[in-house]
Structure 1
Amino acid sequence: MRGWLADVGAGLLVAVLSALGALTGAGEQHHVPLSADLVTAAIAGLAVALGRRAPVVVVVVSAAISVGYLVAGWTIPPLVFAVGWALYQMATRYERRVSWTVSAVCGLLLWGASAFGNPGGDWWTPLALVWLTLTGMATAAGDAVRSRRDYVAEVEDRARRAEQNREEEVHRRVAEERLRIARELHDVVAHHIAVINVQSGAAAFALTRQPEAAGPPLNHIRRASSIVLRELTSIVGLLRQPGEADSARLPQPGLSQLTELLDSFTAAGVRIEHAEHGESRVLPASGDLAAYRITQEALTNARKHGRLDEPVRVTLDWQREDLVIEVTNAVPAASIGGGQETGPAGAGLSIGGPGFGLIGMRERAGAAGGMLQAGLTAGDRFQVRATLPAPPEYGDRL
């Protein structure tokens, strides 16, 4: 609304000034009827009022009328302000190439009409050169305004995109941290809760039949629950730290604690056959943690879903550039069928539940630069096979 009011006010001002010039006899020496001067004054005011809305039309109309006045002998036609205003408005809205092309054509036409359209004119006369100056200055002013506006818009757009990228990065980091914490909670809790479940059942059975035999299962429950509480306290303490969470603050297990891990499953009633081939060596931190957690989760799944009458075989094969971990266990025939968790190895195994364990193992292997396969093998056995990078130049032997 303010723009329209300003345009109408400017148009009225130009129309009044042009009409006053006609009434004072500015056009008598050129034998122009007063009515024609008044119409031209009205056109000049209308041109200024519409210059912002339709600058190209205003430029064409006002320039054509001005050329006619110049040829008729006028030195300064009534539409001179309309031409400059329309060129300015056009330069603020159109590309530089378009606005300067129209300005050059318009300026040359007005200059030619002023210099050669009436007797006594010449190309070098000041009044003729004024037209080139007027059109050039009006276009340059409009172009400067447009360039400034485009620059401000670009800066604001960059700031907006930077803020959007920052928010997306924050959301991405939050999602990654939530996923990491979910994996840690699953890995920490699943195994020890499974041990507590088995040992509590054994303790309950012993209390009804042979109370003195309930001691060892209760001791296992106490140790497992203490470990769960200690690790959960570490995770919760990490979450309470200000700023970004740093996984290095948590004591991370690795293959150096593999023997303790296997002993804990043995205490839970799982028979384990452990074999290791090749020359062991230090793994990168991410690979070391992934190797431990994958073995832990595979043994937990074997205890929950496998047949405990046969041993679970855990094999570590130290190859030239990789460490291959295989955890193989027998599965009941009833477990084979629908609801499978498939992997690159082929058919899967119904594990009951959403299967976050296998998903977490694959994510850990991928994060460490390796891969994981899980599926049935010959003889109704389920195998988890993880391949993790183990460059020989990274570290010494374990």
Structure 2
Amino acid sequence: MRPWLSNWSVAVTAGVLTAAGAVSGLGRHRIPLEADLASAAGMVLAIGFSPVAPLPVLAVVTVTAVVYEALGWGSPVLTFAMIAALYHLALRHSRRFAWTAAALAGGCWWAATAIDAPSQLWSLPSLSSFAWAGLAVAFGDSVRNRRAYVAEVEDRARRAEQSREDEVRHRVAEERLRIARELHDVVAHHMAVINVQAGAAVYALSRQPEAAEPPLNHIRRASGVVLKELAAIVGLLRQPGDTEAEHQPQPGLDRLPELLETFTASGARITFEQVGDVRPLPASGNLAAYRITQEALTNARKHGDGGTVSVRVTFERDRLVIEVSNGVPEKVVPGAGGFGLIGMRERAAAAGGTIGTAKTGQGPFIVRAELPAPWQHEE
């Protein structure tokens, strides 16, 4: 039931019962029937309108009560009206304001009793106006505090739910970015190899058709690797319920020789050097090391001068250092840069490492990656 409907239902019911009691002779002998019925009607209006305008209702009820007391028509019906007005006043206004209004209303009512019976000024019936006013405000204040507490709890629940939704969206965005990096690394590398081999095949077909077979075989193998890795990556999206063990392992430095072979097969000249004691790396660092090397080699193949590319992997005391250097052509094509360096920096940062580049004078262009590689002691 709606609040206003329930409020008016209580008001009308109380008014009807009061009027019935007055008509049947159960009313007070000192108050005329007309005044008793008028007080009952006033109570109905006071209870009905007190949720909307409690302060005006309280003022009217207090003035009416003072008049009735002055005429010797003490009416408990008006007490009910005062209680309803003070209750709703405590719900809508501050605690200090409500208690001040209760003290003023109770004081006016108590002082009015001196007009009719001065000797009863300090009697319990006369002082009861303060008690009823205090009870009404205390009850209204407790209900208001309860509602405020429930509203605060609901608001916290909504904020917590919103925070969970924001966290889910953030994780989804991070996962999409990770997949985008994987796709870029896989496709950029192998498509660069395919492009070079396709050019070699076209050249061989026009002059030495029998020499076109090796480049075409490289294209077939590279495209097969692209399709295989794309299927593995996209499979993570199609099967979100699979466990990590069901997926193919991510590449790491153990597959670095295979990666170098693919570049060498495409015609690139690569020198490789490994320094230090090889040791297992954290999963994130192992993948980042492979992908950073792959992207650096791809960039060297696309933007270098076509000379020898040097790859150096150094296992230091608590870190892994990867350096990839290549020559730079005399004329750099404007707009040839892409997002490779940005992707490498993001991968290194995600693994707790850093990426740096250097180019001095006529020297080579160097990409240097430093990744955490702590010793793992057996317990």
Interval containing the TM-score (normalised by the shorter chain) = 0.7 to 0.9
Once residues 353 and 186 of structure 2 are traced to their aligned partners in structure 1, the CA distance between those partners, rounded to angstroms, is 22
Once residues 84 and 77 of structure 1 are traced to their aligned partners in structure 2, the CA distance between those partners, rounded to angstroms, is 11
Moved more, 296-305 or 239-248: 239-248
Moved more, 69-78 or 221-230: 69-78
Percent identical across equivalent pairs?
A: 55
In structure 2, give the amino acid aligned to 1:88.
Y
Moved more, 252-261 or 374-383: 374-383
2:49 maps to 1:55: no
Change beyond 3 A, Cα 1:332–1:105: farther
Change beyond 3 A, Cα 1:138–1:201: same
In the alignment, structure 2 segments of 5+ residues that lack a partner are: none
Once residues 373 and 247 of structure 1 are traced to their aligned partners in structure 2, the CA distance between those partners, rounded to angstroms, is 34
What are the Cα deviations for residues 174-211 of structure 1, in whole angstroms up to 9, with x where unaligned?
Answer: 21121111111111222112112211221222222223
Matches within 5 A, 1:194-233: 194-233=192-231
Once residues 245 and 58 of structure 1 are traced to their aligned partners in structure 2, the CA distance between those partners, rounded to angstroms, is 69
What are the Cα deviations for residues 295-327 of structure 1, in whole angstroms up to 9, with x where unaligned?
Answer: 10010011111110x211222233333222222
**Contact map agreement 2:69 2:115 (CA 8 A) in 1:** no
CA RMSD of aligned residues (A): 3.7
Matches within 5 A, 1:265-344: 265-308=263-306, 310-335=307-332, 339=335
Query: 1:333 is paired with a residue of what secondary structure?
Result: coil
> How many residues are treated as equivalent by the alignment?
377
Match of 2:355 among 354, 358, 372: 372
Aligned to 1:362: 345
Once residues 135 and 242 of structure 2 are traced to their aligned partners in structure 1, the CA distance between those partners, rounded to angstroms, is 56
Once residues 246 and 169 of structure 1 are traced to their aligned partners in structure 2, the CA distance between those partners, rounded to angstroms, is 22
Once residues 322 and 155 of structure 1 are traced to their aligned partners in structure 2, the CA distance between those partners, rounded to angstroms, is 49
In the alignment, structure 1 segments of 5+ residues that lack a partner are: 340-349
Deviation, structure 1 residue 380 = 6.0
**Contact map agreement 1:281 1:395 (CA 8 A) in 2:** no
Query: 1:307 is paired with a residue of what secondary structure?
Result: coil
TM-score normalized by structure 2?
0.82
What are the Cα deviations for residues 129-170 of structure 1, in whole angstroms up to 9, with x where unaligned?
Answer: 432342233234333433443344334323332332232222
2:356 maps to 1:394: no
Change beyond 3 A, Cα 1:281–1:75: same
Aligned to 1:347: none
Aligned to 1:343: none
Once residues 248 and 378 of structure 1 are traced to their aligned partners in structure 2, the CA distance between those partners, rounded to angstroms, is 50
Match of 2:160 among 162, 166, 175: 162
TM-score normalized by structure 1?
0.79
Change beyond 3 A, Cα 1:104–1:152: same
Deviation, structure 1 residue 293 = 0.2
Once residues 328 and 51 of structure 1 are traced to their aligned partners in structure 2, the CA distance between those partners, rounded to angstroms, is 84
Deviation, structure 1 residue 260 = 1.8
